[in-house]
Structure 1
């Protein structure tokens, strides 16, 4: 970025007081930056509202006009609006991106380079930008396109929701598609933290009458609600409520105030909770309750104190799932003490991991458990573990770079395509030909 982060943060703080008060999260969560609905709310502002916002902030973009991607001279607000509508991306996201990358929303005298590389699209930390993407209108359009392209083709990208990654030397698990999209656009925590601060100050959800995180109920009515992310989430189980809360913390609120909040998801048990119903024990996994015998319970090494006693209605919404007959119901890495081979074991199936590059890439934080060959022989052998989708590979004897997509290796023959998709050259993993050929050939990646 051409402007220092400190300068941009100073500008943010000044203009915070010019805008309506917003609900702000207590601190930056690298796993959750903005919601999916916020990323895709392309109708959040019309062109006049964008123009008005630029005028309130008072930067040079309020009066800036240039040639758009169709060869017509347009105001910056028109270019932002057109890109948001064409690619179905929230114009507020584009505004925050323009501020994060070059400080353009508040900057009063931007340089030509700051206009020409406004959103940082196809710009890299350790090499020059791709010249064909030079120009304010192209930058804004391609930024919106890129974010939407990820939502429609997540398997072509490195960062995906629910996967574990090491980003800026920290463990990050993107909780939704919007967060993953932002990491694919800016693959480090510092830039996304800055984006989040801008978003919180300018565009976070407007404050409701009840403070975030409150436990509330309506007088003389049954039911307790948790106010979270500007929604009211019901508790359907007293057991779930008492796991983390106390009744003394519940406040009585006006019915009209509470009904002003959209109803959110039911507050449920944490995934993989162990519960007992009479003599039966279940593991709760997503929407299923999976029976587990006392013998298997002891074999896995679960602590009896972890088991939550429940009533029938507490778990009535869970469907009966497959019985747990394996000591590794959630998956584990096991190593044969004799052959030193490593397997991913889940349920009753063991899958070989035939190369250390796959192990390091797919399971960067998993502990390897050493077991006997006899113990491993109890499990059925499944297909070999392949690289996960979005991994970039090449072989030593060829310059071609491939991206793994649906267990296929798809060639990227153009450096411009590679860079337009936001891939990083230092993310490419060199593998042997036979490791690449664990995957099937795929289609050429084009844009």
Structure 2
């Protein structure tokens, strides 16, 4: 962005150098050159003025209005000059160019093709295009008056009238990408890049939400000079075109600058926007047109929207903001003008295009959105016939967006709702919104606050597959694709099932949901089939599992659990990645497998697969009797000791036999619960 601050110091150095050359016998052309530098380079500088010897101004600076330097209608009229007219204009400005230099009238450059975007249409590149052709094509592509481009070229680098321009003047012809506080951005170097970049920037100012500090329809303090001690004054910015000029050159001329015409004012003067006004006025005439569509009288704060010859009272700031998003100019008009206009219904977002009968909802981003049915119109609080007829130019000023649909928000609110079953359902957060829309850019229509308040409230929209908790309650629930919730007593078990997202919501958020009487468990039933958690999701389980050990979940909950890997068959093996024991799941219990031989026997030649379970998931399943290792000793609830051999438990009849069987180690006897006895096979007692 070009801000047009001072370049007076380099200029003075150049003039001093030129004067020194003259003193030592340099040719007279050097002195002439110095004057030309003053005329052209100074035209661009905020702190520099144009030499009064260069031009006699016809511009009436007493008519300069800092809040309305140029009208939108003039600024955005790309049809004011053809290529031939631009070429003739440039040749009139500079009939003769100094030898060895290329003046703008003769300048040519290869251009590249640029695709259309939100701000400019397509530009088809070509070989050796003239300056006039580049200006005309850029103006047409970006919807900018070519006269604006010419005046900017002059006030920035003096290129329109320069008779010996250096290459550098073409390099930064429009000052685009050359802020006052940093070096120029090399991406914008070159005449074509400069003209296209500046024109596109002018369009971007009015459409990007970033540029909001000179918003039309408000009063802003605009400085007189980069030196803040020079002060500022409040300026009511009447239109987007004037805002564009301030974004590009953020200073207004003070009284001394305006009195000076093209000359110098005082130490607090700036000249960029004054010189733009001067050049445009002298070369092309008035920068204004008839009254803008949004008007107010000097005697009243009331504002009206004038379209199709009818005035419509603007009832509130929200409606004004919507209208000014595409029609940003505000005119102060005589009372007689307002009283001469017939009054229509109050202005609103609901408008009509008489050319094709389309009914639209206007938005504050300068877009219009088609109503596809009368039911939608009524839902948004409008009677079918209560629209405002817009003139073609006014309706066309709004960009066409997506049709009005089921997503909406109340005017003045940031909360999103979706229409479902004649209810409004609040979209709780970004996860829910992304799931609803598939993360695609989606239009959210603005509804009257009263209309939105009158729609019955349904249950909120939550993303599926998340762990949800209300602020004041300890319970955590897993959300599904419908209204079902399942209680979750362990974050680790949820993670084993592939659920990791967690969020706390306001109290009452979950009140409209159905809370199932089951708890998420490591083994579960979905749609009649058994599944087991596997660390990052669930896998099918083949084989018998007691129904009590695999509670059935609602289908809307099952739908959010990710499927991982191939099916396993009972008995299947489970392991905690952070611990050593291998467990086998069978008949609703987990049994510890203590040796490789037993593991291979239980696996029965299948590909060996371990399901990854957290300690919490393992703890959720009842523990069964461990598989005992041959050569070990166990006892249950009585003094009898058994020796394990070949998977069978055999009674040890006396201490001598126990010592002999354990030799050369001391015998270690494991105590097991009496309830485990039935899990083992017993054989005859060991011989003495």
Q: TM-score, structure 2 length as denominator?
A: 0.31
Q: Which has the larger radius of gyration?
A: 2
Higher helix share: 1
